[in-house]
Amino acid sequence: MESYPIKFIPILKERLWGGTKLRDEFKKEIESEITGESWELSAVEGDVSVVMNGVYKDKSLQQLIDTYKGELLGEQVYKRFGAEFPILIKFIDAKQDLSIQLHPNDELARKRHNSFGKTEMWYIVQADEGAELIVGFNRDVSREVYTTHLNNNTLSEILNYEKIESGDTFFINTGKVHAIGAGVLLAEIQQTSDITYRIYDFNRRDKEGKLRELHTELALDAIDYAQKDDFKVNYTREKNVSNKMVHCPYFNTDYMEVEGHLEHDLSQRDSFTIYMCVGGKTTVVAGGVSEQMNKGETILIPASVDKVEIIAEGAKLLEVFIG
């Protein structure tokens, strides 16, 4: 395999709640005023990323996986997941509040949808003053209490609201009720899954004037009704090293703030590596090929690469791999 920093064409998604920050903050080429998501790296059926640079230009991520297998993914990753790319990488711009929702675990998702569950994490790139997230409940509730509040349109009384600022990071495990609030631009790393149970959507209507589908009954067995303080991620921000953020069975994410010239050893890592640039800009060198990465861009480094060089003046990166 030709090993170099691989860039992919973003897959842009219009959403009812979307805005213009993906264009304004990240300089993505977007004309729409309601673009809510940029899928940076995806092997979801119907939305498979396509290479934009180098010798694999115009090849899809799935074609690369099918051809190069463990060379691209890592032998242990390929053994575990086969030809299915295990994570989905996005940037999300919420101009309006997103629906209140949750995701099923692997067991429930496999049984009901023949899919992975959806464990995810958020890194706040930018937040307007007063912006907040919904993460979990503000007290322990029962299924009956939850259902009563849902039916009475008073769900907000039992939800936990978190004020946020740039750099805040949240781990959203399956079953946790959550929502991204208005004015938030974030990076999302998640299991490859598009299974979401929407439980409340502010009675919004789509462009056809229809209310969006809710998944009230499906959600009941999937919700974690306990109050838990397990979502805010505390991490160090030491420069020129990998600072551990989230390490879970589905993905590992570290924070890197690079100043100057960093040589980063990947020889002991049996996994692909993804870099998301969440601040500044940088040059990434792998396999003798250099590629510039600006804020809001993402690069995939094949597992066959033993070392990367990262050259920057204060770039902020999320480094993602499978442990």
**For the segment 44-64, what is each residue's pLDDT rounded down to a tens digit?**
999 999 999 999 999 999 999
Q: Where are the domains of the chain?
A: 6-220, 243-321
| Percentage of residues of the chain with pLDDT beyond 70 | 100
Has residue 317 got a pLDDT over 90? yes
Q: What is the pLDDT of residue 269?
A: 97
Has residue 238 got a pLDDT over 90? yes
Q: Are 299 and 275 in contact (CB under 8 A)?
A: yes
Q: Are 99 and 26 in contact (CB under 8 A)?
A: no
What are the structure tokens assigned to 205, written together? 């209507």
Has residue 78 got a pLDDT over 90? yes
What are the structure tokens assigned to 47, written together? 């939305």
Q: How confident is the model over 202-214, as a mean pLDDT?
A: 86
Distance, CA of 260 to chain centre: 27
- CA dist 189 and 87 (Å) reads 7
Has residue 253 got a pLDDT over 90? yes
Strand partners for 161:
134
Q: In which band, very low, low, confident or very high, does the pLDDT at 296 lie, cut at 50, 70 and 90?
A: very high
**81 Cβ neighbours under 8 A, 6+ residues apart:** 73
Q: Which helix (H) or strand (E) holds 41?
A: strand 35-41
What are the structure tokens assigned to 110, written together? 């496999």
Q: What is the pLDDT of residue 117?
A: 87
Per-position DSSP letters for 98-126, written without gaps between them: PPEEE---HHHHHHHHSS----EEEEEEE
Is the pLDDT higher at 208 or at 279? 279
As a whole number, the mean pLDDT across the chain is: 96
- CA dist 157 and 50 (Å) reads 44
User: What fold is seen in the domain 6-220?
Assistant: Jelly Rolls (2.60.120)
Q: Among residues 198, 204, 205, 212, which one is catalytic?
A: 198
- CA dist 177 and 173 (Å) reads 9
- CA dist 238 and 243 (Å) reads 7
Q: Are 181 and 140 in contact (CB under 8 A)?
A: no
* 66-105 per-residue burial string, b: 16 or more CB within 10 A, e: under 16: eebbbbbbbeebbeebeeebbbbbbbbbbbbbbbbbbbbb
Domains 6-220 and 243-321 share a fold: yes
**Known catalytic residue at 23:** no
Burial class (CB in 10 A: 0-12, 13-18, 19+), 289: middle
**261 Cβ neighbours under 8 A, 6+ residues apart:** 309, 310, 311
What are the structure tokens assigned to 267, written together? 């020889």
Per-position DSSP letters for 62-83, written without gaps between them: HHHHHHHTHHHH-HHHHHHHTT
Q: What are phi and psi of 40, to 5 degrees?
A: -80, -35
**289 Cβ neighbours under 8 A, 6+ residues apart:** 4, 5, 54
Q: In which band, very low, low, confident or very high, does the pLDDT at 204 lie, cut at 50, 70 and 90?
A: confident
What CATH number is given for 243-321 in this structure?
2.60.120.10
- CA dist 315 and 318 (Å) reads 10
Distance, CA of 169 to chain centre: 11
- CA dist 314 and 300 (Å) reads 21
Note the pLDDT tens digit of each residue in 107-166.
Answer: 999 899 888 889 999 999 999 999 999 999 999 999 999 999 999 999 999 999 999 999
Q: What is the pLDDT of residue 205?
A: 84
Q: What is the pLDDT of residue 212?
A: 86
Strand partners for 313:
259
- CA dist 197 and 232 (Å) reads 22
Q: What is the pLDDT of residue 131?
A: 98
8: which DSSP letter?
A: B
